[in-house]
Amino acid sequence: MNYHHFTIEERCCLREYYAKGKSYREIARLLGRNVSSVSRELRRNCTFFRDIPRYYPHTAQKKSNLRNSYRHRGMFWEQEVLDYIDEKLNTTRSIDEIFRNAQRAFNTWSKWKPCDRTTENLLKMLDFDFFEVLDSVTIARSRKHIQKYYDTSDIGTFPKRNPPISKRPGLTDLSKAINYNEIFEQLNLLRLCIYTPTDYILPSKLAKYKDVYDSNHVRGGLTQSGREQGIRRLMSINLMKRMESSVYSFRLTLKRINDLINDTIKSIVDFEHGHNKSSLNLNDITNMDLDGDDQNDDVFAIGKKVRIDIADMDYKSWRRELERDKEILDLLLTMIADITPAHDSKLQTLFDVIDKKQEHPINTGNKKIIIFTAFADTANYLYDTVSVYVKKKYGLDTAIITGSVDGKTTIKGLKTDLNTVLTCFSPVSKGKSLLLPNEKAEIDILIATDCISEGQNLQDCDYLINYDIHWNPVRIIQRFGRIDRIGSKNECIQLVNFWPDITLDEYINLKARVETRMKIVDMTATGDDNVLSLEEKGDLEYRKQQLKRLQEEVVDIEDMSSGISIMDLGLNEFRLDLLDYIKTHPEIEKAPHGMNAVVKATEELPAGVIFVLRNIKNEVNINSQNRLHPFYMVYMSEEGEVLIDHLSPKEMLDSFRFLCKGKKEPDKELCAQFNDETDDGRRMGKYSDLLGDAIASIIELKDESDIDNFLGGSQVSFLSNEIKGLNDFELISFLIVK
């Protein structure tokens, strides 16, 4: 790594500059360091005297040497990595502090009324450092964004999206068989008390475990008992999800829980007869095959396990509840016992969909299909059945990727690592001719979990099947995005969704009974269900509308999410475009200031002018909010109204790009109109007034922000480093919109 620590000489200079009141940026410039390095050095090594920070070079040197000695012994290596990241970022604070502040801003914003919870308001709450980090590590372009703002004639187009196909098979073709509603009713009777042993500790014995509980708090202040309640509820949700996924996966989960209950009952019986140890430890779910979202929610896996003596429990009551759950589980297992693959209506419907695709391809010669599921159990079940079916009937090869273990394929001798499997499935997009030039085999059917739902280009395929509908609708869109990519060789693509054999209203109502994860911190040890709040009911209603749209159309992710898209945040795409432009047009560096162009107004972007300004006092960044500093862009209407202010650079640059897209030559008609109006640039009073209004808007926004920050308790200087007016700016260029 290229990171190096401050020398004692640098620290002595730093103290002198710091004592003189120089800014972090000034100190960094004088020392030849990044601003983040100076900020971190002062933050970590200042000594406080009566709450006043003081920096002593030799003390700082000793602290640094001590930390280095720890690192050389294998300690604090993570901090060294963070230091290296901080060194490379052009920020005033550490990356930890940046994200803490961003999280704090988001938490505040998320509690606002829906009408105020807008992207614009959130962007104004996030500071310069956050966007600096974001732009350093991300670049994002959605389908809609590319289509609107980019000229795609050289790289191809997106394939046409066919309307989605919805399938609603029943559980089985067997007569008098159980249906979804009946299963869900039985699931709601389960207490799953196997996961809540602390509920049954005798009151007289609670003091024995008090110290254990007090030291077993996990994230958000959740206690051991609360953790157990969370596990219980998570497993309730998991059972419902698995029922939606496949009978096979549901059966496996029922059996796992039932086996755990049987083992526990046996332990209690053995204890009663004096044949067993008296301690239990039962709430471990680390081996459960949860879907991707639940696996990432590690709140349940944190905190040490608590061993409970059976003698300290009301084990007789617990045993009764366990036996009650066991009866329900036994009943469910009996009800679904006869649903073999031959009688699995959902699986047989999948075969029909595959048949239709192979016999009537939507793109000539394309046999490829991706089948997505949330669970590895379901994926393995599909691989065992589908691979045999398509090999026998069509001679096609199948592969499976679940992320948890190595993949599998029907191609003998083929490596089953992720890259090899995906390359053989999508040979054009993955460059198979270069990576695996000697491999002739090709995979046509790919079965996968959400481990490949992001970051993979698989556009050789034109057909994607969601065998189960993920509870997060955005996941559905991300899955389809693997084949919905620019430059696809396919003329059209198809999405097929499998839904439970119930109405959407029934589905949402059933879901509402177990949708409680959002209230996890409020859980108590009573086991009582929380009544859904108005906010939660609103969320379910919104989710219903999302799912309804998914049944009828293929939705873009920015249209589906009620939150903030990364497309709203980063500016890196513009920087990359600029770098590419400079490579082919190096003369732009010599372009004179004050240049202008004229473009046609649109319905979305009315007549006016976009000014590009540079702040001469470039050490001033108004509250660290202007992401283009020292440059400022303001879009003014002809009437003097601010259409887009300087604190919305993403919207501004998108608008600028949209107005100029595809225009390589001046619009002679518009130029002639502008020249007539201004007497060939001699009468620019109208635009001078608009320029004054633009600068005034920058000053007004600063004053408003200063006052808000001051009233909020932040330190604000109203006298120094302030922008006073026109003389503080130079005009770089301006775009006339007519």
Query: What pLDDT score does 665 carry?
Result: 87
Please determine, for residue 706, whether its predicted confidence score (pLDDT) is greater than 50.
no
Backbone torsions φ then ψ of 729, nearest 5 degrees = -130, 155
* Amino acid occupying residue 512: A
pLDDT at 646: 84
Classify the C-alpha dihedral 174-496-463-565 as positive or negative. negative
E-strand ranges in 474-583 read 492-498
Q: Which of 52, 45, 34, 36 is nearest to 8 (CA)?
A: 45
The candidate with the shortest Cα–Cα distance to 644, out of 616, 606, 618, is 606
pLDDT digits (tens, 9 = 90+) for 129-155: 776 676 666 555 566 656 555 666 666
User: The tokens of 553 are what?
Assistant: 């159309």
Residue 179 backbone phi and psi in degrees, to 5 = -115, 180
Q: What is the pLDDT of residue 570?
A: 61
pLDDT top residue among 620 and 32: 32
Provide the β-strand partners of residue 730: 614
96 Cβ contact list (under 8 Å, min separation 6): 82
Structure confidence at residue 1 as a pLDDT band (50, 70, 90): very low
pLDDT at 339: 93
Question: Are 737 and 663 a contacting pair, CB within 8 Å?
Answer: no
CB half-sphere exposure, 148, CA atoms < 13 A: 13
120 has pLDDT over 60: yes
Which pLDDT score, from 0 to 100, does residue 535 have?
47
The neighbouring-strand residues paired with 161 are 493
Rounded-to-integer distance, Cα 381 and Cα 70, Å: 50
The whole-number pLDDT of residue 527 equals 35
Positive or negative, the CA dihedral 424, 428, 430, 434 is positive
Please name the residues in contact with 411: beta carbons below 8 A apart, sequence gap of 6 or more.
397, 399, 424, 441, 443
CA distance 374 to 376: 7
The answer on pLDDT for 324 being more than 90 is yes
What are the two backbone dihedrals, phi and then psi, of residue 221, each rounded to the nearest 5 degrees?
A: 80, 15
Mean of the pLDDT values across residues 428-457?
89
- Supply angle C-alpha 316, 321, 326, rounded to 5: 120
Among the listed ranges 37-46, 386-395, 490-499, 569-578, which one has the minimum average pLDDT value? Answer: 569-578
Which letter does DSSP use for residue 467 in this model?
S
The label of the residue with tokens 């903030």 reads: 564
Would the pLDDT of 116 be above 80?
A: no
CA distances from 417 to 38, 198, 403, 701 (A): 45, 43, 10, 55
Q: Range with the lowest mean pLDDT among 170-174, 345-349, 391-395, 498-502?
A: 498-502
Q: 619-637: per-residue pLDDT in tens?
A: 555 555 677 778 889 999 9
List the single range of 524-533, 551-560, 629-638 with lowest mean pLDDT.
524-533
Give the best-scoring range by mean pLDDT among 115-129, 293-307, 356-370, 654-668.
356-370
Which helix (H) or strand (E) covers residue 735, if one does?
Answer: strand 729-737
Q: Please tell me the predicted confidence (pLDDT) of residue 297.
A: 41
Whose CA is closest to 491, among 363, 357, 366, 358?
A: 363
More confident residue, 688 or 293: 688
What are the tens digits of pLDDT across the range 81-97?
556 666 666 666 677 77
Residue 395: pLDDT band by 50, 70, 90 thresholds?
Answer: very high
pLDDT for position 288:
54
Between strands 52-54 and 47-49, the pairing is antiparallel
Q: What letters, b where the CB count within 10 A reaches 16 and e where it falls short, cover 311-335?
A: ebbebeebbebbeebbebbeebeeb
- 687: part of which helix (H) or strand (E)? helix 685-711
- Taking a C-beta distance cutoff of 8 angstroms, is the pair 343, 172 a contact? yes
Q: Note the pLDDT tens digit of each residue in 326-354.
A: 999 999 999 899 999 999 999 999 999 99
Q: Which of 158 and 410 is assigned the larger pLDDT?
A: 410
Least reliable range by pLDDT among 43-52, 104-113, 601-610, 666-675: 43-52
Tokens read off for 312: 């300290």
Cis-peptide, bond into residue 114, ω within 30° of zero? no
pLDDT of the residue at 387: 97
d(CA 85, CA 81): 6
Name the pLDDT band for 442 (thresholds 50, 70, 90). Answer: very high
pLDDT confidence tier of residue 210, bands split at 50, 70 and 90: low
Give me the pLDDT at residue 544, please. 63
State the number of CA atoms in the 13 A half-sphere of 124 facing the CB: 17
* Whole-angstrom distance, CA of residue 638 vs CA of residue 683: 15
Across 424-432, average pLDDT? 92
Give the three-state DSSP class for 463: strand
Q: Residue 383's closest CA among 366, 359, 407?
A: 407
198-202, 308-312, 544-548: segment of lowest average pLDDT? 544-548
- Number of neighbours of residue 109 by Cβ within 10 angstroms: 19
Model confidence pLDDT, tens digit, residues 461-505: 999 999 998 767 777 888 888 888 877 889 999 999 998 887 666
Chain-wide mean pLDDT for the chain? Answer: 76
Question: Against a cut of 0.75, is the pTM above it?
Answer: no
pLDDT at 607: 92
Q: Which residue has the higher pLDDT, 471 or 435?
A: 435
Query: Greatest CA separation found in the chain?
Result: 106
Q: Look at residue 316 in the predicted model and tell me its pLDDT.
A: 92
Q: Give the pLDDT of residue 384.
A: 96
Q: Which residue has the higher pLDDT, 314 or 551?
A: 314
Selected residue with higher pLDDT from 252 and 217: 252
Contact assessment for residue 612 and residue 633, using Cβ atoms and an 8 Å cutoff: yes
* Angle subtended by helix axes 24-31 and 8-19, to nearest 10: 140
The region of weakest confidence among 198-207, 379-388, 488-497, 546-555 is 546-555
